[in-house]
Structure formats: structure tokens, C-alpha cells
Structure 1
Amino acid sequence: MQLSIATVLQDSAARHPERTAVVEGGERIGYRELWRQSLAFAAELRERGVRAGDRVAVLLPNTADFPRAYYAVAALGATVVPVHALLLADEVAFVLRHSACRVIVSGGPLGAVAEEAAAAVGIEVAEVRTDREPLPSAVPAAPEDLAAVLYTSGTTGKPKGAMLTHANLVLNAMVCAQDLLGLTPDDVVLGCLPLFHSYGQSCTMNATFRAGATLVLTPRFTGPGALELLVEEDITVFMGVPTMYHALTETAAADPRRPARLRLAVSGGAALPVAVLERFEKDYDTVVLEGYGLTETSPVATFNQLTTGRRPGTVGHPVWGVEAAVADAENNARTVLLDDGESGEVVIRGHNLFAGYLDDPEATAAAVVDGWLRTGDIGVRDADGFLRIVDRKKDLIIRGGFNVYPREVEEVLARHPAIAQVSVIGLPDDARGEEICAAVVLRPGADADEAEIVDWARERLGRHKYPRIVRLLTYLPLGPSGKVLKRELKEICG
């Protein structure tokens, strides 16, 4: 049976040949032309010796070259290895060496890093070119064949390569496009998310192309720049992470323009404070749906679905074909499921579950127990089946013997009228083990001080929960997917 991720683009090129697939700056590329360009670059890669089953790294910004390269690799029956665009050359070299890539595709501002990394490993760099005679057709692939290897951030050590099959990616794209977002060829999706990341790759690019809709790309996100595109390109669906929602709410205060057709916004990658969700919905007159997943779940696992109900502050219900439950977080040898209302580790199984970590059976065995992926997130499911993510298991703060989850504190502080962004961490404390620290970025023009914020929090949080330490910062350190880098934040605030 053939089920290649390449068919996502191939099918839309056949059904909607003249519709615009990608908008990048002043360039508009139709579906038929984008597929032709992908097959032409696939011919170039074949000339360089790439064959079915080989691995090809892609280190490119959010430009049309990314989908050209991505689908070219898939069309050859090879495996794409998207590379984090902020890595240093030696970090890129680790990915190339570990994944045994045959070629790295790069160019433009990332070309120098790619050249240095490739030289260290002894492979060649290929720039995207579309002037060759295209391949006549894509190489067939089986559902269980390896489509992509996506490397985790490596915050607890060396990055691990999560292996995703064609079935993983195709089904996730279909579920996103049809069940969750109801995308049609008339939709225009804003692609601010980095395409090397699973959220941007699967939910934005693959789902948009599955529906024959239009993807508007921007290499670099800013609030004003995103609002400009929302208005000028008549965007109907916005996908972002919490920091993007914050930036757009701040931009809305200074710019009265609003998109005319924005029917839906999607948040993922990290927890979206309810206060920010409410502000965005009010400012942009739309609905925000929050979802949840990991690279290892292709990535979407649960979602606030229009068919099963929406509840802000939760990540909704499992998507079609997927189960999500809560298990005993202390039992690592077995997956013992808990009742609704009990707090524990979120576990997932279904068609979206990855095929394991590349060349790391021990890590795979630790992550998948009794057929369930142990996510490392603490959550609770209510009587209506809505899943709420409490926090990352590793981010738990233990203050004087009491467990404090940072997200609960962040949700409260996000409602302070002077606070634009907040992240809560635990700092070492001789008396209590850890002390709660709130790292805060103030709204423009606000003049609240540390003591005032502590007093405000004391009135709204339990005695063991409110932060005794507040650090006023000009920014929060962020990773490429918009998550706050808490390890770096602890160094800043400590």
C-alpha cells in the first residue's frame, strides 16, 4: 500500500493545479508549479546519489525552498531530517553524523553553517534548484516507511532523533485539515511557525497543502509584520505559539487594522494563558483553539474541537484515532491509568505515535511503556473528558514540602494589568529547598515594581504558591517554537 507524505502535495497539484499553494513576499506559486519544482529538485538529488531509504538533512528558513526540498526528498522515497535553524555548526554536525545523512540541503543565510557542518562530517551541501527535468513520478512508500527524523531540543542531554513514519505524518495532516480546522481551498493560512519544527511542519504546511489551501510564509515573526500579513493577505487561519499571541495583542493596542476574514486561531507548543487567549479573541474577533502534542506524537494528540466542545484552559479531547489518559507519574515500569480528576502523567497512544528514537532503544523503551507514550507532562482529565495540562513534570517546584506547579501561578500573574509576559521557576533556597520566582516583562508604559507584584500575588494565591521573588526583565529567553527556556531563565534570575 502506498501512503507517502509526498502525495499530500501531489494530490492537491492534481485537484487544484492553478490555485496558489505558497505566498512568499511578492512570489505566488501554484500547486502544479510547486509539485513540478519539487520533482525537479528530486531529480537533482538523485543525480547526487540520493536513493530511497537515504536520509537528507534540510537546513532552510521559512521560504518556498523548504517545501520544495521537503517534498523532493519524500518524492525520492528518502527520509527528510529537518535541522533546527538556530544550531551552531558543531551541533548541526552532530545531527548529520547521528542520522547518517547523505546530503544537507541549505543556502542563503544558513549556508555557511551548513557548509562548516558538512565539511566536518564529509558530506556535500546542495542548494535548491528546479531547472532539471522533473522526475516522472514519486517513488512509492509504505505506511510504515520512515518519512522524517525530527530531533528533540536536547535540554536534558544530546538531542534524540524521533522517527516519524509516512502514516504518522499523513494521518496527522488529514486530521488537522479535516477534523480540527475544516480547511478548504478557500482558506489562507499564515505560516509564522518554523517549518523545521513539528508544529509548523505538520499542522501548518502539511495540513494546508492537504486541503489545497494557501500558505503564506514569513521568515521572521514580529507582531507588526504578522498583523500586516493578516490584513494584506486576507488570512483566515492563524497558527501560533503563546509568545506570538502576546505580540499580536500588544500590536493591536497600537494598530487599529484588523483582518477581515480571520475565522480561527490555533495555539500550541506551550500553554496559552487564558488571559492572553481572552484578550486575543476580543482584539481580533475570532476563536482560539488550543491543542497539545509532542514531536513524538506527530505532533497533534488532543485539541479543543468544534465538534466535541471547547473549554479555555484545557487542551480539549483526543483527536480521531488517538487515546490520551492520565497515569501514575511515579510508576515508570508500568503504565497505571488513573481515574478522572486525579493528577498524573499524560500518556498517549494511537496512529500518531512515533516509531522510536533513532539508534536509541533504551530511550525508546523508557518513553513507551505498555504501548503508551510517557509525555513527561502532568495533567488531569475532568468528568467531561477535557484534558488540562498542569505543567511539565520536571518543572514542578517543591517549596517547603509543598508541590507548586508554575503554570498555575503564571495563569494568575498573567491577569495583572501591568504584566505582559511571565514565567515562573524555582530557585534554590537553603530553608525551603526551592523558592518561587516570577520572571516578569511589563507592558509598555507600566511602572509596577517587584514589591507591588508580590503583594498583588499574595492576595490571589495560597501562602505556599505566591512568588516571594520577582525579577523584572526586558525579555524572556525563548526557543524557536516559542517556549520559554527555563534552564536559561534560572541562570538569569539566580
Structure 2
Amino acid sequence: MTNLATVLTNTAQARPDAPALKFMGHDIGYGPLAGMAAKVAGALRENGIQPGDRVAIILPNVPAFPVVFWGILLAGGTVVPMNPLLKAGEIDYFFSDSGAKVAFVWPDFVDEATKGAANAGTRIIPCGPMGPADGTLEGGEPIAEAIERDDEDTAIILYTSGTTGRPKGAELTHRNVRLNAERSSGVILEVRPDDVVMGCLPLFHVFGLVVGLVAATNVGASLALIPRFDPGEAIKVISNEKVTIFQGVPTMYAAILNHPEADAMDATSLRACASGGSAMPLEVMRGFEEKFGCMVLEGYGLSETSPVASFNMPDRERKPGTIGVAIPGCEMRCVDLEGREVPVGEVGEIAIRGDNVMKGYWNKPEATAEAIPDGWFRTGDLATMDDEGYFTIVDRKKDMILRGGMNVYPREVEELLYTHPDVLEAAVVGMPDELLGEQVGAAVALRPGATVTPEEIVEWSKERIAAYKYPRRVWIVNELPKGPTGKILRREVHAPADS
């Protein structure tokens, strides 16, 4: 039996009364969690969901997310986690591309999801904090034993954008996720059954889902959830729930460190902190460690690598500023354009091989072949490796903007801007931001006679694309820099000095 859901059923059988989730002062045990998931699985089967069918989740970090996540897997389905901030047009693409038959949706997002489901015919199931709302998904005998799935069957499809084209669905297998969760909880963070893991990373994101939820469930630890990250709320939960393991992106560490309530936080329970998503500024790392007396370990990974590929391991020397060494079961190297390994200390693209690498991109064989041409996944990240196998990211091969740990892809935003009636050309670039690392900026050239203002373009964009993606700063130029072929040279686009 290789279904990922056995991670839950095994723990529920061994520790039914142990708290699986902590939410707003209440504990939910592993036994009850498994029981609620079994009901969802039975209802999905009764409503026509077959093994391999895709089911989407559009929920914040509330207990309903783990309930339906495990329920979909118990029924043999494939989970498609989606960012709740997506707009109807984006949702339409995700539903249509994945073929999602059902989507579990938080009430605040039902209107947008319903509009987005019109073409795909996806059935929207509204959810309350604990699971599907009464009367929305009924019937069926609970499925307490996971439907059998193969190691290489797809458990999760995580959508990840590239700098060209629409988002692609990375297919993570039951084996990919199970092994990465086992290594995250065992080798990397040494999670124990009595640990309380901070669940402030979004569960729709691979870091929070695999390294948070699945890894905690794997050993029977507790996951303390807050619906959406707020530093003040995180400080309260760390103090009140005696959190022992904090997982976050660098902006979360900075927000807690700089919060007015930081001095009042009881951090005596913290014993391990993991950071990923983007490079952590050394001053933030030092400040957090000095203030709260705990070590921050940095790692690296992508949706396509389930996610963890490298980490500063607790039993080895920590090298601040690096992303550590390749984790067990995973090989990493820096390669040139031909795929040849570059010498130690020289810059190359990180290539990854191992049992954490995805099966491929959903229904995109050409994109899969391009990303994994020779068994090694090309990450698009440029790095150096030292003589002890520690990697240091130096730049991005792609033009991705990393805003507060969330990936923003310029082309997607540019394509939206090009639909504005007054915009002739657009180039979206990252701008340095002290709090978020990078902020989204856009240079636009207007059509002749157009009178739209930068502020109006910002507001227009805000209504049509997820909140973390729209440009916070727009500036108007006469024309954008171009190369000999007429291609816009994004690297030569810079925000005006008064920004």
C-alpha cells in the first residue's frame, strides 16, 4: 500500500488521541481528523470521484484543509492545491488544465471560484472551518482504509509558472511526497511526536504542505494553524501553544523580529527553525537568533522537487548564507549550458536528480523533456558549490520576482497589462523591498492619445490578478528598451530614481 494517505491512517491508529491540529485554542486529535477525512473520502466516492481524478482545494490554513486533503487522497484522488487569492480568469485556467471535477472552497472565495468554474464545469463545494458545509457533499460510507495507489501515481499537482507561457502543473507522486516528508521530519528537522510545528506557511504551497502538514503527520506531531500569516498572531501562537519548530520564509522572520510585541514573545519552547523560499538576509538571521535563542537552518527546494533538495543539516556545520548540502536521496550539481558539471567554486545552473524530482509537468511532455533532458532537473537557479558540497545561490537564470516568498512571473503580469486598452507595451521587473525582498514594478508605454495614469493602471490590475502579483508601482515611458530583433530587454528596465 503506497497511498500517501497511509501517513495519516498509520498515525491515527497508533496515536488517536494525540493532537494533530491546534487551531484558535482548540485541539483536534489524529483519530477525529482521520474520521472526518474518511467521511469526505466516502462522499467523494459516492459523488463519482474515481482514483486519479483531480480535486482542487482553495482554502486558507484552517482545519478543513487537512480534512479534505487527506480525504481526497484516501479516495485515491489527486490533490490540486490553489492559492485563494487567484481571480476567476486564473482559476478558469487551473480548473480547465487540471480537469478538476470538484473544488473545496472557502466561503469568501466561492464567487470568484464559481465564475472560474463555468468553462471547466468544476463542482464547487463551500467549506466551513472543519470541512464541507452541511448539505454540500453528502452520502457514501466513510473510507477509513486508503484506496490502493502505485508509488508512481500522481498524488499532488502543484502549479508553478515559468517565464514563458502559462503555469505548469508539477506532478508529485505518492513516493515523491512521502520520502520528502520522511526526510524533512526525520533527517533534517528531527521532528518528534511531542513537537508543535508552526503552521503559518500556506498549505497550498509545497513548503507548508509537505514540510509542514505531511511531515508533522508522519511522526504524529501537532501542527498549529493560523489562517493567514500575521506576525502578531504568530507571536501569540508560538507563546500560547509552546511551538517547538518554526517554519517560514525570510519575510516572516523579519516581520516577527520587527513587531512591537516581539519582546513579549515566549520563545523558550523553540528548538528548531527552518527557512526557505528565498535567501535570508544575514542580519535578519542573526537578529532572530540573538533575540529568541534558537538556530535558523536554511534550505532550498522547488515545487518540482517535492520540495526539499538541500539543507543546512543539524548534524553538520551550518554555513549561513548557503542553502546547505543535498539531502539524502538527492544529488545536486552546478552545470553549464551543455549539462556538464562546472568546477568547484564556479557559477553554474543547479541541476537535481533523485527520488524527490517530479514525475513531470501535467500533460506537457515537451516542457518536461526540456526541464529534465537527461534525468537531471534544471532549476533555472544559478549557484556555486564549495569543496564541502555547500551551495550558494548567486542569481536567477529566470526573471522571476520573489515577493515575500511568493513567486511572481513577469510575463504573466505583462500579459494582463497588455489587455488594458491604453497600454501599448509593458515590462514587469522586480524592485528591491526591505520587507518583502522584492516588489513588483511595471514600465508601460501608452498608446497615442491615452491619458490613463499609473495609479489607474495599478487599480485596474489589482482587480484582475492575485493580490501578491499586481504591480505596486507603475511608471510611464516613451518606449521600452529593445534588442536588435525588437525584443523588449527587461534587464534594461529600471524604476525611476524617485521610487
Whether TM exceeds 0.5 here: the answer is: yes
Show the counterpart of 1:100: 99
Aligned equivalents of 2:159, 2:14: Cα separation in 1:
33
Out of 126, 131, 153, the position equivalent to 1:145 is 153
Aligned equivalents of 1:116, 1:53: Cα separation in 2:
25
Q: Is the 8 A contact 1:335 1:369 kept in 2?
A: no
Q: Is the 8 A contact 1:309 1:316 kept in 2?
A: no
1:163-178 matches, within 5 Å, as: 163-178=171-186
Show the counterpart of 1:342: 346
The superposition leaves residues 397-434 of structure 1 with CA deviations (integer Å, 9 ceiling, x where unpaired) of xxxxxxxxx99xxxxxxxxxxxxxxxxx9xxxxxxxxx
Q: Is the 8 A contact 1:174 1:207 kept in 2?
A: yes
1:415-454 matches, within 5 Å, as: 439-441=432-434
Q: Is the 8 A contact 2:99 2:120 kept in 1?
A: no
Q: Is the 8 A contact 1:346 1:375 kept in 2?
A: yes
Following TM superposition, by how much is the alpha carbon of 1:147 offset from its aligned partner in structure 2, in angstroms? 0.5
Aligned equivalents of 2:472, 2:387: Cα separation in 1:
36
Show the counterpart of 1:387: 391
Show the counterpart of 1:79: 78
Out of 241, 246, 270, the position equivalent to 1:233 is 241
Following TM superposition, by how much is the alpha carbon of 1:437 offset from its aligned partner in structure 2, in angstroms? 9.4
AA aligned opposite 1:7:
T
Name the SS of the counterpart of 2:294 in structure 1: coil
Show the counterpart of 1:410: none
Show the counterpart of 2:195: 187
Show the counterpart of 1:464: none
Following TM superposition, by how much is the alpha carbon of 1:205 offset from its aligned partner in structure 2, in angstroms? 0.6
Name the SS of the counterpart of 2:360 in structure 1: coil
Aligned equivalents of 1:33, 1:254: Cα separation in 2:
35
Matched, 1:212 2:220: yes
Following TM superposition, by how much is the alpha carbon of 1:27 offset from its aligned partner in structure 2, in angstroms? 2.8
Aligned equivalents of 1:491, 1:392: Cα separation in 2:
23
AA aligned opposite 1:350:
G
Matched, 1:312 2:320: yes
Show the counterpart of 1:121: 120
Matched, 1:274 2:282: yes
Aligned equivalents of 1:193, 1:153: Cα separation in 2:
19
Aligned equivalents of 1:379, 1:71: Cα separation in 2:
37
Structure 1: 4+ residue segments shifted above 6 A: none
1:291-310 matches, within 5 Å, as: 291-310=299-318
Out of 265, 268, 272, the position equivalent to 1:264 is 272
Q: Report the TM-score, using the length of structure 2 for normalisation.
A: 0.79
Aligned residue pairs, count:
419
Change (3 A) 1:437 1:395: closer
Q: Is the 8 A contact 2:188 2:313 kept in 1?
A: yes
Q: Is the 8 A contact 2:34 2:144 kept in 1?
A: no
Following TM superposition, by how much is the alpha carbon of 1:270 offset from its aligned partner in structure 2, in angstroms? 0.9
Following TM superposition, by how much is the alpha carbon of 1:200 offset from its aligned partner in structure 2, in angstroms? 0.7
Following TM superposition, by how much is the alpha carbon of 1:97 offset from its aligned partner in structure 2, in angstroms? 0.5
Aligned equivalents of 1:92, 1:259: Cα separation in 2:
39
AA aligned opposite 2:389:
G
Change (3 A) 1:211 1:354: same
AA aligned opposite 1:351:
D
Following TM superposition, by how much is the alpha carbon of 1:336 offset from its aligned partner in structure 2, in angstroms? 0.8
Change (3 A) 1:438 1:356: closer
Show the counterpart of 2:490: none
Aligned equivalents of 1:440, 1:272: Cα separation in 2:
13
Name the SS of the counterpart of 2:264 in structure 1: coil
Name the SS of the counterpart of 1:207 in structure 2: helix
AA aligned opposite 1:164:
L
Give the alignment's Cα RMSD to 1 decimal: 2.9
Following TM superposition, by how much is the alpha carbon of 1:308 offset from its aligned partner in structure 2, in angstroms? 2.8
Following TM superposition, by how much is the alpha carbon of 1:189 offset from its aligned partner in structure 2, in angstroms? 0.6
Following TM superposition, by how much is the alpha carbon of 1:255 offset from its aligned partner in structure 2, in angstroms? 3.3
Aligned equivalents of 1:324, 1:223: Cα separation in 2:
34
1:47-66 matches, within 5 Å, as: 47-66=46-65
Aligned equivalents of 2:25, 2:125: Cα separation in 1:
25
AA aligned opposite 1:439:
P
Change (3 A) 1:170 1:326: same
Aligned equivalents of 1:35, 1:383: Cα separation in 2:
46
AA aligned opposite 1:251:
H
Out of 354, 357, 365, the position equivalent to 1:353 is 357
Show the counterpart of 1:68: 67
Show the counterpart of 2:330: 322
Name the SS of the counterpart of 2:156 in structure 1: strand
Q: Is the 8 A contact 1:347 1:372 kept in 2?
A: yes
Aligned equivalents of 1:66, 1:32: Cα separation in 2:
16
Following TM superposition, by how much is the alpha carbon of 1:82 offset from its aligned partner in structure 2, in angstroms? 0.7
Q: Is the 8 A contact 1:297 1:352 kept in 2?
A: yes
Tell me the percent identity: 41
Show the counterpart of 1:377: 381
Name the SS of the counterpart of 1:45 in structure 2: helix
Q: Is the 8 A contact 1:303 1:319 kept in 2?
A: yes
Show the counterpart of 2:486: none
Following TM superposition, by how much is the alpha carbon of 1:107 offset from its aligned partner in structure 2, in angstroms? 2.9
The superposition leaves residues 290-343 of structure 1 with CA deviations (integer Å, 9 ceiling, x where unpaired) of 000000000000000012321110011111100010001xx2xx4111121111
Following TM superposition, by how much is the alpha carbon of 1:194 offset from its aligned partner in structure 2, in angstroms? 0.7
AA aligned opposite 2:432:
A
Show the counterpart of 1:12: 11
Aligned equivalents of 1:91, 1:253: Cα separation in 2:
37
Aligned equivalents of 2:62, 2:261: Cα separation in 1:
29
Name the SS of the counterpart of 2:117 in structure 1: helix
Aligned equivalents of 2:252, 2:215: Cα separation in 1:
20
Show the counterpart of 1:38: 37
Name the SS of the counterpart of 1:337 in structure 2: coil
The superposition leaves residues 88-134 of structure 1 with CA deviations (integer Å, 9 ceiling, x where unpaired) of 01211111110111111113222222222223322311243498642
The superposition leaves residues 167-220 of structure 1 with CA deviations (integer Å, 9 ceiling, x where unpaired) of 000000000000001111110011011101111110011001111000010011
Show the counterpart of 2:142: 134
Aligned equivalents of 1:442, 1:11: Cα separation in 2:
41
Following TM superposition, by how much is the alpha carbon of 1:157 offset from its aligned partner in structure 2, in angstroms? 2.9
Name the SS of the counterpart of 1:109 in structure 2: helix
